[in-house]
Structures are given as structure tokens and as C-alpha cells.
Amino acid sequence: MEQNQESSLFSEVKKSVLFSVLLLLCFLGMSPLVLAQNFDQEIKKIERLQDKSAYDSALLLANQLLAEEGADSENGLSLLLTKQTSFYYLGKYDSMRQGNRFLLGKIDPSSPLYPNWRFVQALLYGEDGAYHEAIRSLKEAEQVFEQRNMDSNLAKVYNSLGSNFKELEEYAQAKVYYKKGKSSHLVLGDSLGVVMANNNLGSVYRSLNQLDSAIAVYLEASTWLKALENNFLLAQNQLNIGNVYEQKGDLERAEIYFTNCLNLSEKVGLQYGVMLSRLNLGNLYRLQKDYSRSKEWLNLALSKAEEMSLAREKGLALERLSWLARDTKDYERAYFLSVDATKIKDSLLSESVKKESLALQERYESEQKTNEILLLESANQQFLLIVVFGGIVLFALLSLVFFGLYRQKRLVNEKLIAEAEQRELSRAIQTKDMELTAQALQILQIKKLLEEQSAAGLLDEEGNSIKRETFEFLQTELENRITESNGDFFKNLLAAYPDLKPTELKLCSYLRLNLSTKELAEVLNKSARTIENTRFSIRKKMGLGPEDNLVAQLIAVEEK
């Protein structure tokens, strides 16, 4: 009896052990599959956030997953590609370029990620103005996506191809790809994708002056957006329709749609939409010769553009105010407004030229690498290779001495030129700072004089008002001069210390004038305590110790 019980007990234990082992083996076998499924779900979650334009949230989730996966794994590379897309739509092109440099050489044509890599390369090519390069990359991605029946990826490729052909003013090709993109989004049931395709088609039709066709696709897009209750994109859609009606000369309908855009933008807090609506309404009333309303709306648009620090839009507002002054025969005001608008346009054009130059340089380097690869591939004959190599070596030996002498002379000349330029730059900075310091001290003298007159009862209420307006005008003029002359300084300062806030940047530009804390407080209309607190915050963010001179450090940043 006891033996039977022991045997039965042993049998139960044996079964339990065997069951546990089998369960463990199943778990170990399923774990990679489960992990892969979880990762795919997270990637889809990132893509859904991007579809909803929640790019900051998509970046945050991608960074969290990268911390677990590691950047060099295949999952890590996939996450980096999703980050590139988010950077693009957020306008963070420098971050995108840095990401592309990291990814370069890590994804080869045999990788399943290769078409996605070519797609994000194309996005950056298009941003840099290298539209032909972008189209080549997109065509390569399109071919692979078609082979793999990846319809959602194809829809994005079609839209990007349409955009690049549009930039090249090849509108027939642009229409073909925008329509293919629309068809893909319809098949996928992607309502927002259909809306964006319609908006893109409307833009092409406007460029071709096919205004009725443009209105038709914009109205179709508005129907989708109303069903989706997407007021954010509907505001933009209403603005587009208003622009087409204005282009047709139907100003009454244009006013209706511009007003719709304004109301929707205010409802959803879309400040850029508010600014554009005001700008368009102001110009519309000018065309209707309702000059008082035109002036009111254009000044509101200008104020909003300045509040949002939008240089291009500020230039547009000034340009339209200049047209308004011309229409009302105020030619002097029209001239000065036109000059201010032209200054902004010239500044933006200069930035555009720099951007195009960088794009051409990148394209040249890319073509140079391609030519080098083709040259190596074509050098199949051993004898020819030996002859060429020998000639190169001989030429290098003969040229080495001459090149060494030339290089030494050039380096000496470059050093002399650099030293002269540095001295000239230092003198220019000192002269500029002296002028600004003198202007600041002059403002303080005027303020002191006005306060003394007010205290002595020499000024009535109107005089006090004029006093305040005079001081505010001089203060604004000084601030504008400092802002205009410190563009490169602010750029260098932010590059070195990206945590600095706008108020701290502003104080940095004043600190270089070597004014006392009390003088700075009076010029900026702040308390001395506020100035000291802001100065302490700047020193902390710049990592300066008690023995370090803040002003000297700021001057050193500018001279770089």
C-alpha cells in the first residue's frame, strides 16, 4: 500500500516537472514572436500619431523605444526612419540631416528598410531644392513598394513625387501623381489622405489657372473635412477657396471664405490662420476700395506677424499696407512701407540663395561619388589599371614638390588674411557696440530730463503722455537696432547654449553694451532685481563660475 502511494506520488511529480519544462520551452519559443508583434504594434502606433500630425508625441514614443532597442539594431534603424519623417513635418531639417548622416551606409539595398530610407532621403533632397535627386530616390522606393504591395507607403511616395514635379513646374506629371495618391488613399479608406491629395491638386490647378477645377477639388476636400470635424484643416481649406475666388475676381464669395477661415482659426487657436485671414481680408477690402476696413485688418495682420516673429508674413503685410497707401495717394507712406517690405524680402532672398548653394554643393558631392563608383567599376582591364596607376604615381611625385611650395605660400597668405579679417571684425563690433551704448545712454538722459520736468510740474497731462510716447519710441528704436544688428550673434549664442530663453537672449545683447544693472533696468523698463535674476540664469546656463566674466564670454561668442 505504501509502495503504491509512493509510486503514485513520484508519477505526479514527474508529470509536473515535464509539464513545467514543456511550458518553459513554449514560452522561450514564443517570446521572440511576441516581442516582434509588440514592436510592430508600437511602430503602427507611431505611424498613427504621425497621421494625426502629432509629430512631437511620435518622436517621444520613438525615443522611448530606441532606449530599449539600441540605434544599431534593425528595430532601432526602423525607429530612426520614423523619427526622420517626424523631423521633416516639424521643419527640423538640421536634425534630419544629422539623422541621415548616421543612417548613411547602415541600410543596404537588400535590407527591407531600404525603400523607406530612400523615401526619407528624398524628403530632404526636396527640402534642399535638389528635386531631380528627390525624384530619383522616390522612383526607386516606388518600385520596391509596388513589388511588395505596400499601398500605404506608395500613397506617400505618390504625393511626394507630385510635390517635386510641381516644384519643377512639370504640372502634367504633378497631376498624374497627385491623382494616383488620391486613388491610393481612397482604397485605403484614408480620409485625411484624400483631403491632402485634393488640396495638392487644387494648388496645381491654380498654377495652371484652371480655377473652376481648383474650386471643385477644394470643395470636395471641405466636404470630407466637415464629416471628419477637422476644423484645423478646414480653416486652411476655406482660405484656399477664398484665394481662388479672389483670383477669379469674385470678391464677395472670397470674403465669405476668408471670414470662415478666421472664425475657424480663432475657434481652434490656429494663430497662423488668424494672421493669414486678417492679411487676406485686409487686401480684399483694399480691392473693394473700403480703405478704412482694409487699414484696420492689415494692421491687425502686421501686429500678429510681429507677435509670432514671422519675417515673410510681416513683409507681406507691409507690402499690402504700401499698396493701400498708394491707392489712397499717401505716396510718402507708401514709399517708406515699400522700403521696409523690400528689406525683409532681400533678407529672405539671401537665406534662400544660401540654401540653394548648399543644395547644389550636396548634389555635386553626390554626383562626384557616383562618378567615382562608375570609374572603379569600368576599370576591369588589369593592364590599363596598372598603367593609369603608374601615371598617377609619377604625376604625384613630380607635382609633390610644387604643391608643397604652393600650399605653404597659400597657408601663409590665408593666415594673414584671416588675422586682418579678425581685426576688422573686432573693430566693427566695438564700433557698433559703442554706437548702441551711446544711444542707450542718450535715452537715459532724455528719460531723466523728462522725469525732472514732470516732477517740477512743467508738464501737464498731455506733456506727460508725449513724454511716455517719446521714451517708448526711442526705446523701440534702440531695441530694433540691437535686434537687426545681432542676428548672427543670436544664432551663435543659441548654437552654443540652446537652453537660453528669448528674454535671456535679449538681455545678452544689452549686456555687451557695458551698462550698469541700474541703467539696464531703466532702458528695458524692468526692475534691477529682474535684471540680476536673468543675469544669474544666463550665467548658470552658460556654465560660468564666479571668476568668469559674462560680458567677455558674450563678446567671444560674437567674434566667432
At 433 the pLDDT is: 60
DSSP string covering 440-458: HHHHHHHHHHHHHHHHTT-
Dist CA 164 CA 135 (whole Å): 7
* 3-state DSSP helix/strand/coil % of the chain, to nearest 5: 85, 0, 15
| Encoded amino acid at 354, one letter | K
Enter the pTM of the model: 0.51
What Rg, from alpha-carbon coordinates, does the chain have? 32
3-class DSSP string for 349-378:
HHHHHHHHHHHHHHHHHHHHHHHHHHHHHH
> What torsion, rounded to 10 degrees, do the Cα atoms 134, 139, 141, 145 define?
150
Mapping DSSP to helix (H, G, I), strand (E, B) and coil, where does residue 130 land?
Answer: coil
Judge contact between 324 and 291, C-beta under 8 A. yes
At 318 the pLDDT is: 92
pLDDT averaged per 10 residues in sequence order, the chain, 560 residues:
49 54 48 57 80 79 80 79 82 84 83 86 86 91 86 86 90 91 87 87 90 92 88 89 92 93 89 91 93 93 90 90 91 88 78 50 51 52 64 74 71 65 57 65 70 66 66 74 77 87 84 81 84 89 86 77
Q: At what angle do helices 55-69 and 74-90 cross, to 10 degrees?
A: 160
Of 350, 233, 246, 330, give the one whose Cα is nearest residue 288.
246
Judge contact between 316 and 297, C-beta under 8 A. no
At 374 the pLDDT is: 47
CB under 8 Å to 543, separation ≥6 — which residues?
none
